[in-house]
A and B are shown apart, each in its own frame.
Chain A
Amino acid sequence: MTAPLVDIRAVSHRFGQLAVLKNVSLRIEPGSYTILLGPSGSGKTTLLSILGGFVTPSEGKVFIRGEDCTAVPPARRPTTTVFQDYALFPHMSVGGNVGFGLRMQGVDGATRAAKAREALALVGLSSAFDKKPHQLSGGQRQRVALARALVIEPAVLLLDEPLGALDLKLRRQMQDELKAIQKRVGTAFIHVTHDQEEAMALADHCVVMNDGRIEDEGPPERVYARPATRFSATFMGESTILAGKVTEAGDRTGTVTTPAGPVSVRSALPEGSAVALAIRPEHLMLGGAAGTASLGMAKVSDVVFQGSFKRVLAVSVEDPSLQFIAKLPASTTVQPGDTLAVSCDTDQIIVLAD
């Protein structure tokens, strides 16, 4: 096994009294696209600033290519950052912006211009070399910022909510391009976002953060299908959560008593332990075809048509504080006010130790 490109070891950080990172450890492999996903205040941006060298952590160490970079200033570490507001130099041409890093390295003008043109071609902006940043659109500025950061060939590229300022359509388009560019250059990208769709679309490795901790990390498919914690089950996609207690423990299966009645699950947790059952909206069934696990009756409170599907909210008859979130086909005839049986397949229930 090769050494990780970035190794964050037990990093904690405090702003005054406020602990924003609590003992975070993370390894990043060369050539990977890592997404730090979390709500605002989860510490993801602070972690990125620590990687970029703009913040020195209160505790812990950061190794990049095996070198201790914990207190190395941004200018001297092998990372570059694409800032959320792009931070282009307004008084320089696009070519001047992209060539700036090389100029600081003492590269001569002709080589600089050639490399800057190459980097601009990579992001599809060859024609913008002589323009000024204010003549470009938001998406184009984003690309210039990307080219400027990539041209000095960093070991790690850090992106701070790079798509946050773009409108939805452009965001999806840039998303695809980012992924393509990353594959082409092979540089490790670390990208901060609060948008779970962005995370699922881009990540090779998805790191879910909450309240200064890493809740879950792994390939996005795994994080979505088998979230490790209740938080990641609700933040990376939606879930219906049933709190319960294991009342019968078998060899590989058990029974959990929930407000919606007893549910048999595939899990070997000991009897008496408190658990949470998470079910993805696309796995819940209302009325009609019944799944192998019954979840009682529920009264439909809201049906929202979303194009390819209908999002249905239903309140459990057994426990009015329990709300089911289901994703039903667009053809469904479910109406608000209907009372229906709720069920799902035992295999689809995610058991989370509480």
Chain B
Amino acid sequence: MRRIIRVASWLYALAVYGFIFLPVVVLVLFSLQATSFPIPPFTGPSLRWYDAVLSDVRLTSALVNSLLVASISSATAVTLGFLSAWGFARFVLPGSGLLRGLITLPLTVSYLIIGMGLLVLFNWAGVPKSLLAAGIGHVVINLPLCFAIIYSQMGDHQINIERAARDLGASEWKVLLLITVPVMAPAIFAGFFLSMTFSWDEFVISFLLTRFDTTLPVEIWNLLRSGLNPKTNAVGSLVFAVSIVLVVLFELTLLRRRKT
């Protein structure tokens, strides 16, 4: 009886993980297809579709665009998130709780709503559809996240550390730069890498706010409109690989934080 339960629980775990990971496995597997259709039987392995992706100027420029948008918007989001977290943690502000709630509120709003809102706003303000507009959209969605991560790690014990620095003659910006930022570095990096991950494969906002130069997810969507092709699998696998790297970096920075 016990053995049956054990076998059943293993089967269940296998089914669950299969459900989660099988699409990814299939995607990666057929990106190595040697023939022109990503359907069984598997004819690979071959790197010809990766070659095709990397020699496609539209895809490679979209890839560079995506990296630029992700890194610049994440750096902006993490800087603003850090400064607001520091402000909320160190100074008594009127209506602090309400303001903190407001700053994290965009986390609960769907990207579609944020994207449409920004589209209307940019139209009205005369900001053209561009990578910059999409980048601003990514700051809007990632700032609350960075704020929440950094604010949660700003404990009271750092207050005395900052005080000690001031006591030893440090000016306010030196306290921030030499003490607070290095002490908070794990949370800051964690916020940065998580923002990168989200920005990297964000589609809806980029789709709504870009036109000619666009990000990789939007370009992939363009590609998909002409039907399935191992090339889409290859580019999808590349996106997935970059996401994995970012998530691993995020986990590492958080784990290092917990150990010390």
Contact = CB atoms under 8 A, between A and B. Distances in A.
* Interface size range of chain B in the complex: 10 to 19
Nearest to A85: B160
Contact of B169 (A52, A81, A90, A152): A152
A179 interface: no
Contacts of A149: 168
Q: In this complex, which of A54, A91, A101 has the most chain B Cβ atoms within 10 angstroms of its Cβ?
A: A91
Interface string B147-191: 000000000010011011111111100100001001101000000
B182 A83 contact: no
A97 B160 CA distance: 14
Interface in B223-241: none
Interface residues of A, number: 25
Contacts, number: 59
A83 B168 contact: no
Q: Determine chain B's interface SS by DSSP, over half rule.
A: helix
B260 interface: yes
Q: In this complex, which of A101, A149, A152 has the most chain B Cβ atoms within 10 angstroms of its Cβ?
A: A101
B169 A54 contact: no
B163 A152 contact: no
A168 B174 CA distance: 38
Nearest to B168: A101
A74 B166 contact: yes
Contacts of A110: none
B163 A74 contact: yes
Interface in A43-92: 52-54, 73-76, 79-81, 83, 85, 87-91
A155 to B, nearest CB: 13
Contacts of A85: 157, 160
Interface of A: 52-54, 73-76, 79-81, 83, 85, 87-91, 100-101, 104-105, 134, 148-149, 152
Given A73-B166, A75-B167, A90-B183, 16 more contacts: A74-B167, A75-B168, A75-B171, A76-B169, A80-B168, A87-B160, A87-B161, A88-B161, A89-B164, A91-B182, A91-B185, A100-B170, A101-B169, A105-B169, A134-B260, A148-B164
Interface of B: 157, 160-161, 163-171, 174, 179, 182-183, 185, 260
